Amino acid sequence: MAERNRNQLPNNLPQLQNLIKRDPESYHEEFQQQYRHYQSNLQIFQLKPTQYSESLDELVMFLCQIAHCYRDELAEFPQQLIDLLRSHSTVLDAEMRMTFCKGLMLLRNKGLITPTSLLELFFELLRCQDKLLRKTLYLHIVNDIKRINAKHKDNKLNTTLQNFMYTMLRDSNAAAAKMSLDVMVELYRRNIWHDEKTVNVIVTACFSKITKILVTAMQFFLGSDEVKAESDNDSDSEDEGTKARRLVMGQTVNKKSRKRQKKTEKALSVIRKHKKKKKPVPFNFSALHLVHDPQTFAEKLFKQLESSTERFEVKLMMMNLVSRLIGVHQLFLFNFYPFVQRFLQPHQREVTKVLLFAAQATHELVPPEIIETLLRCIVNNFVTERNSNDVMAVGLNTVREVSARCPLAMGEDLLRDLAEYKNYKNRAVMAACRSLIQLFRNVNPELLHKRDRGKPTEQSTAVKATEYGELVAPDYIPGAEVLPGTEEVAKEKQDNEDGWQSASDDEDSDGSWQDVAHSSDDEGAQGENPAESLTADEKKARASEISSTRVLSQEEFKQIQQMQMAKEMQPSKTGKGTKRKHVEIEDSQSGELVPLSKIEDVFGSKKQSREERIATMKAGRDGREKFGRKQQRMNPHASTTNKEKRKKKPFMMVKQKYTIKNKQKRSFREKQIALRDALLKKSKQKR
């Protein structure tokens, strides 16, 4: 038997690599031999860069692995790879180009290359028509910038890279520009480049002529694309989804056992928990607040929308972004409202989203006559009996949301006409109408009929209608009169100190603690609020005094909020009226964004599909006894009757008997007897 040759140096590169990492000085000659071999292969490769060289591929990865062991000898090695990629990036063989890039990534992880030179090279390589390469470079760029800014922000490097990405967004290559935008969006999402400059660079991408770049930039501001799971591992690490699939596959092909099944379920639960923990917080519309000039941005985007030839879905995104800019920054773009009215028809595709855009583009600084035209358009096209009930309910919901943001746009006549739907035959329309009535009970009850204003409450009596442009800025915290004043707090503190002192004296006297009654406990037992007996002017003066002389805690703010909510339910002492006949519906919150559920909130269950009806039917059968009529016998073991036996016989056996029975007619005497028995039975029931 021939002796096996385990030592294959210097041809076995993995073995030589392992030995060099352990003792670089002992294997310096072998390294020199392989380095000369690399230089000769490199010269041959430069003559034909389009061909794949297996020996050069192995030597490049070998040198990248041991570059930190011979820093002086390999000082020019990284620059050789960079120059090779820059000069032959588009004509290189795909496998060789990927090898050179992975080698540079390895050298960057070892700290042998500066990040600026490498990242600029990788951005230039995004122009290559290689999808796998672009994905690999994208992951490395994001993870590398994340590592650079992990401990502290490197503002100089970030500024350099942001300027370079700004030029890449204007690149003629669509793939490179799109990938650069994806990098900026991902870095913003991970709170690495969470600054104004990044946002305003992405603003320029909203005016790109390339549809993919335009859509990606608008999705960034709208926050509508899915948030990817953040992974702290390298680009070639195994993600949680792959681990979960491998566990499920192992459970499928391996031998079934309860122990193995429990282990699999436990491992899957750990993976899901880890994935949920690592998932980054999805960014919201806060990027809109960082735009430098939102008015110019909205005007240019609206001009682009008017002349756009993109698909309808892209136009909807533009419309959504313009409406959000108007609502968040309270901009003036009066031409937007007539533009939206062109799409406000019940048969319009995605009409509920268009109604949503009209609502979130409304704010209190827009002149009421402009919004009034929009309201009348919605009412005329949706809130009419020629439309379906759902269309009417959606129209009333939109009117409510628009009115919540601009109450002055609603006229008295229009509101009273809409209030007549409060007793409509359909519950969806009725609920939507009553929510509109409830809104104006809190905003401006004078516009409603007296019968629709409901029972006056302490809160509704204090509501006063404001004029256009009028700013209500109180110099105190409304509702602070329910809190104890400065003197009361000092007195309570002194009483507590006296109480503790007396308790301490009692303990010293007899060696046991005594119960002490505090003033706050007495007040809580009485359940009376000292501010309830005050007039409106005294309440205002007391609230102003408390707000200006004390720093309120969070618990006190919660107490104020609870008392303000109670005012909406407590009847006014001077008001008259009866109890409200219908249930109060929560009014709309005029926030910066309007959820689509506010518009599509139609009261009542939607029509179920056949599959849903079958699922509901099967769910109702759980725990129920088997179908069929129960036995009526006293003794369940008794024999069956002839009638029951006849049911189990074939019809041809009993056909003649049924035919004869049907042909026989009752005589006049039989009819008399039957009538008599029926009348007697009826008379007994009345008794």
The SS3 of residue 367 is coil
Position 328, amino acid? V
Q: Rounded to an integer, what distance in angstroms lies between the CA atom of residue 359 and that of residue 400? A: 9
Is residue 505's pLDDT more than 90?
A: no
Closest by CA to 165, choosing from 192, 220, 204, is 204
402: which residues sit within 8 A by CB, 6+ positions away? 358, 359, 362, 371, 374, 375, 378, 409
**Res 14 pLDDT > 70:** yes
Mean pLDDT (whole number) for 249-257: 67
Distances (CA, A) of 174 to 141, 205, 304: 18, 12, 20
40 vs 657: which has the higher pLDDT = 40
pLDDT in tens, 534-546: 666 677 777 777 7
- Angstrom distance (rounded) from CA 490 to CA 481: 17
Reported as a pLDDT band with limits 50, 70 and 90, residue 519 is very low
Residue of 542 and 504 predicted with greater confidence: 542
Q: What single-letter DSSP state applies at residue 228?
A: P
Tokens found for residue 514: 């005594």
Among the ranges given (41-45, 320-324, 434-438, 507-511), the one the predictor scored with the smallest mean pLDDT? 507-511
Give first-to-last CA distance, the chain, whole Å. 117
Over residues 443-475, the pLDDT tens digits come to 888 888 888 887 776 666 666 667 777 776 777
DSSP 247-284: HHHHHHHS---HHHHHHHHHHHHHHHHHHHHHSPPPP-
| Pair 511, 574: CB distance under 8 Å | no
In terms of residues, how long is the chain? 687
> In this model, does residue 589 exceed pLDDT 70?
no
Q: What's the confidence (pLDDT) of residue 578? A: 44
Q: What is the spatial distance between Cα 620 and Cα 623, in angstroms, rounded to a whole number?
A: 8
Taken in order 642, 646, 648, 649, the sign of the CA dihedral is positive
With a cut of 60, say whether residue 531 has pLDDT above it: no
Residue whose tokens read 């948030």 = 227
* 38/42 Cα distance (integer angstroms): 6
- Give the number of other Cβ atoms within 10 Å of residue 412's Cβ: 12
| Banded model confidence at residue 558, pLDDT cuts 50, 70, 90 | confident
Structure tokens at 581: 């006949």
Please name the amino acid found at residue 600: E
Q: How many CB atoms lie within 10 A of CB 414?
A: 18
Is 17 within 8 Å of 11 (Cβ atoms)? no
pLDDT value at position 5?
A: 47
pLDDT tier at 338, thresholds 50, 70, 90: very high
> In this structure, which CATH number among 3.30.70, 1.25.10, 1.10.1420, 1.10.3470 belongs to the domain 293-454?
1.25.10
Q: Which of 48-52, 246-250, 495-499 has the lowest mean pLDDT?
A: 495-499
Virtual CA dihedral for 677, 679, 684, 687, nearest 10 degrees?
-170
Q: Which residue has the higher pLDDT, 627 or 59?
A: 59
Residue 189 above 50 pLDDT?
yes
Q: What is the pLDDT of residue 571?
A: 60
Average pLDDT over residues 192-197: 85
Tens-place pLDDT, residues 142-177: 888 888 888 888 888 888 888 888 888 888 888 888
Residue 568's nearest CA partner among 461, 480, 457, 477 is 457
Rounded distance, CA 596 to CA 420, Å?
26
Range with the poorest average pLDDT among 4-13, 19-28, 399-408: 4-13
Confidence of residue 355 (pLDDT cuts 50, 70, 90): very high
Given its phi and psi angles, is residue 183 left (phi above 0), alpha (psi -120 to 50 degrees) or beta? alpha
Quick check: 481 and 543 in contact, CB under 8 A? Answer: yes
Residue 116 half-sphere exposure, CB side, CA atoms within 13 Å?
11
* Of 615, 484, 594, residue with least CA distance to 542: 484
- 8 A C-beta contact, residue 362 and residue 371: yes
Burial group, residue 198, by CB count within 10 angstroms (0-12, 13-18, 19+) = buried
Using an 8 Å Cβ cutoff, are 38 and 53 in contact?
Answer: no
With 50 as the cut, is the pLDDT of residue 609 above it? yes
The residue type of 24 is P
Please give the mean pLDDT across all residues of the chain: 79
**Angle in degrees, CA 657, 662, 663, rounded to 5:** 100
On the question of pLDDT at 375 being above 90, the answer is yes
pLDDT (tens digit per residue) in 208-226: 899 999 999 999 998 854 4
Chain centroid offset of residue 193 CA: 21
Locate 644 and state its tokens: 């029951």
- Under the banding of pLDDT at 50, 70 and 90, the label for residue 552 is confident
* Lookup: tokens for 549: 């002389």
Joined together, the tokens standing for residue 668 give 């006049």
pLDDT(576) > 90: no
Alpha helices per DSSP H over 194-349: 196-205, 211-222, 240-253, 258-278, 294-306, 312-329, 336-341
Contacts 24+ apart (CB under 8 A), 153-161: 157/115, 157/116, 158/193, 159/197, 160/116, 161/116, 161/119
Q: What count of Cα atoms within 13 Å lies in the side-chain half-sphere of residue 60?
A: 26
Beta bridge partners of 273: none
- pLDDT given at position 592: 67
d(CA 428, CA 435): 11
Q: What is the pLDDT of residue 318?
A: 94
pLDDT at 7 over 60: no
**Residue that is written with structure tokens 């880890």 in the block:** 274
Question: Inter-axis angle of helices 13-22 and 54-65, to 10 degrees?
Answer: 10
Distances in whole angstroms, Cα of residue 472 to Cα of each of 328, 466, 540, 591: 20, 8, 15, 18
Confidence of residue 395 (pLDDT cuts 50, 70, 90): very high
Q: pTM of the full predicted structure?
A: 0.67
The band of 194, judged by pLDDT with boundaries at 50, 70 and 90, is: confident
At 90, the pLDDT band (50, 70, 90 cuts) reads confident
Q: Hey, what are 101's tokens?
A: 């890039």
- Residue 165: CB atoms within 10 Å: 22
Contact (CB, 8 A) for 9 and 15: yes
- What is the rounded average pLDDT of the residues 490-495? 65
